[in-house]
Amino acid sequence: MKTVIIHGQSHKGSTYHIAHQVAEKIGGEIAEFFLPRDFGEFCVGCNTCFNVSEIKCPHYDKLKPLTDAMDTADVIILASPVYVYHATGAMKAFLDHYGYRWMVHSPEGSMFKKQGVCICTAAGAGLKSTIKDMADSLFFWGVAKIYRYGNGVAAVNWDGVSDKKKNAIDKKTTAIANKIKSRSNNVKPGFKTKAFFFMMHLMQKNGFNPRDVEYWNNKGWTGSARPWN
C-alpha cells in the first residue's frame, strides 16, 4: 500500500509523530510533505481552476508533486496541530487549492477508492473543529473511508507528552492502521458519499458551470458510470 502524509506544519512535534505512527503501522511505501516547507502558496482567488482548468493555476507546478502523490496513494493522511481552534494556515492554504476537486465541481475519480485519515493534536481544546477543517475536504473530494483521531496531548512538543498518553496513542494508531489494512482490498464509499454524488449527478445534468458539465459528461457520471465501480 502507498500512504501519503500531508503535514500541516514543517516541524516534527506531536502531530508529526502520531501521523507517522499510523503510516508506519499501515506499512508499505510512505511519501510525506511538510507545509509550508514543500508548498506554501496562498490561493489568489482567480477562479481559473473552476472556470478554465487547474493546469492554469499559478501554483500548478509547485503543487503537482503533492497532487501526484495523493492521486497515486491508497491512503491520504492529513495532519495538523490545532492553531486557534483550527487547522494551521498552511494546511488551509493547501486545501484551498483543491476547491475545484470538490464533488460539486470536478472530483478526481480515484478518491472514491481511497482511505483518508485526519490526525490532530491540541494542548487542550479545538480538536473537533480542526479535524472538521481537514475531513470536510476529504469528504467532498470523495474519499471513501475517513478516520479521525484527535488527542489533547497537554504538551507543546512530543517530548512533553506523558508516557500514559503515548501508550494510548500507540493503541489508537494500531487500531486505525489495522482497520485500514483490513479494508484495503475492498474500499467503497458509504451511503453519505454515494447520496451526495447522486445529487451532484442530477445537478450536473443541467449544470451551471460548463467546465464541470463537460468533466462529468466525459467521465460518464451524468449517465450510469460511477467512480467507485
- Residue count, binding to ligand FMN (CB under 6 A): 19
Between residue 70 and residue 89, which ones bind ligand FMN under the rule CB under 6 A? Answer: 81-85
* Bridge partner residues of 77 (DSSP): 5, 117
Distance CA(150)–CA(221), nearest Å, equals 35
44 CB neighbour count, 10 Å cutoff: 11
* Cβ-based nearer residue to ligand FMN, 79 or 104: 79
Cell numbers representing residue 13 in the block: 512535534
Interior CA angle at 190 toward 112 and 113, to 5°? Answer: 20
Window of 66-74, 121-129, 131-139, 207-215 that interacts with ligand FMN by CB under 6 A: 121-129
Window of 12-20, 67-75, 184-192, 206-214 that interacts with ligand FMN by CB under 6 A: 12-20
Binding of residue 21 to ligand FMN (CB under 6 A): no
* DSSP class of 26: H
Binding of residue 124 to ligand FMN (CB under 6 A): yes
Binding of residue 121 to ligand FMN (CB under 6 A): yes
139-178 mask for ligand FMN (x: CB under 6 A)? --------------x--xx---------------------
Binding of residue 126 to ligand FMN (CB under 6 A): yes
DSSP string, 120-185: EEESSS-HHHHHHHHHHHHHHHT-SEEEEEEEE-SSSSGGGS-HHHHHHHHHHHHHHHHHHHHHTT
Binding of residue 16 to ligand FMN (CB under 6 A): yes
**Torsion angle (degrees, nearest 10) of CA 206, 209, 211, 214:** 0
- Contact footprint for ligand FMN (CB under 6 A): 9, 13-16, 81-85, 121-126, 153, 156-157
